Structure 1
Amino acid sequence: MMSTINLDDFLAAGTHKLTENPGFQLEYTKVAIAATVMKAREAQGLSQAALAKKAALPLATVVKIEKGSNTTIETLSRIASALGKTLQITVK
């Protein structure tokens, strides 16, 4: 039987595994970005389509990011700006 974990718990618990497995680090980062974008969008009551329009991006781009696909810093910066936020990248 597969156990479940909510996204916030996964993100909080996953950080200790980052140095153990580079593949996990990459996937964890994608999920963290997806969750961050989705939460920021939902906090402002925006649909994916509304965010895409505000960021001047195709809807498919926002959908893919929220599903955990790779993206660019430029795209994330446009999304952050559309949400009235700034993009910060930290390397630990």
Structure 2
Amino acid sequence: MAHVSDSLARWHAVVESADPSAVPGLLAEDAVFRSPALFAPQEGRAVVAAYLGAAIQVLGPEFRYHREWVGEESAVLEFTSSVEGREKCTAST
């Protein structure tokens, strides 16, 4: 679980910096992004980095994490943000 915790700490630092150029350095070459908003999983470091980098920019300064659930090989992060005056709450893995 230390690996997951270390990865989360690095992710939080990138989100706090709001620097999407740091996202690829967090990802494995074979990273996969799954979202209920997308029809199919998005595969590969470059594609996943593009989605996560865009999320960092779109969710902006109102983005806040509230809870985390950490497992052996994964984590779920609950967050809220306000986009165009509308507050959103969701979780991601």
Could you state the TM-score of these two structures normalised by the residue count of structure 2? 0.26
Higher radius of gyration, 1 or 2: 1
| Bigger proportion of residues as helix | 1
